[in-house]
Amino acid sequence: MKPFLIDSHCHLNHDRLRETGGADAMVASAKSMNVQGLLTISCRIAQEYDTLTAIAARHDNVWCTVGTHPHDADEPAEVAYSVDDIVRLARAHPKIVGIGESGLDYFYKHSSEDGQKASFRKHIHACIETGLPLVIHARDADDDIIQILKEEGMGTNPSLKAVFHCFSSGAEMARKGVDMGVYVSFSGMLTFKKADELRDIARHVPLDRLLVETDSPYLAPEPHRGAMNQPAYVTHTATCLAKVHNLTSEEMATITSRNFFNLFDKAKDTWVDPFHQAA
């Protein structure tokens, strides 16, 4: 099969995407650049569940998650969702293939540390119950992220799988995560001129743990830095990651897409082969 890319983390419901035609236009643009799969991520269950599942249902090879961002962990509507609620919602739709994004963000602290930790553990428990992977947001909270993952069984419980999305932490965080079985996803930051340290970290992540993403509409890669990001631009990050590992772009596309399906294995159930269709 022809190599293709998957954007493992984007926000197709974001208001900024309306500037360029909205979710449908972004999906079409991505697929024209051979980005044949997209995972659109939940930040607030109460406000986004219906919208995200509708976007995913409307497009082949577009999937979504269910979960609460750490910024929103203290919102009463989000606190009200129990583990059982998240499990029920995750199981209610075939295109929901992951839980999150959840985690800890001590940089902005839009929610309390205790509220974030409680939400993080709640999402971890939902992952264990469903067998779906956790999409982890981590910023300035490396020690607590690792500690909570260890306490909840990451690396010992086969039902708990996870990815560090938009990785920007240090080498020790990456090493400890990989040792526990966590995947590591790189965004457009990898392409930034002053990101030598991040590229060195990426060089030491095993090939079978790598993913690529845009986190669009944020963090557009070079040569689009400063513009609104979109899933089509994941090609630039993948090309950069290929160079870091001394591989071709096609080889990295094959590796990261395979890794996506290994982690988000529920996505296989609804995968539609675009090349077979074209033939």
pLDDT tens column, 66-89: 999 999 999 999 999 999 999 999
Global pTM?
0.96
Alpha-carbon distance of 172 to 268, in angstroms, equals: 32
pLDDT at residue 279, as a whole number: 44
Q: In the predicted model, what is the mean pLDDT of the chain?
A: 96
Provide, rounded to the nearest whole percent, the portion of the chain with pLDDT above 90: 93
Mean pLDDT of 156-185: 97
What's the domain range around 120? Answer: 5-278
The encoded tokens of residue 32 equal 């024209």
State the CATH number of the domain containing residue 206: 3.20.20.140
Average the pLDDT over 256-270 and give the result.
98
Q: Quote the distance between the C-alpha of residue 276 and its chain's center.
A: 27
Which pLDDT score, from 0 to 100, does residue 1 have? 66
Give, in order, the Cα–Cα distances in Å from 96 to each of 64, 85, 133, 178, 209: 5, 14, 11, 25, 21
The string of pLDDT tens digits covering residues 104-151 is: 999 998 999 999 999 999 999 999 999 999 999 999 999 999 999 999
User: Pick the residue with more confidence: 16 or 98?
Assistant: 98
Token pair listed for 125: 């428990």
Q: What would the pLDDT profile of 201-257 be if each residue is shown by its tens digit?
A: 999 999 999 999 999 999 999 999 989 999 999 999 999 999 999 999 999 999 999
Average of per-residue pLDDT across 24-48: 97
Of 95, 163, 154, which is closest to residue 128 (Cα–Cα)? 154
| Domain count across the chain | 1
Q: How far apart are CA 148 and CA 103, in angstroms?
A: 10
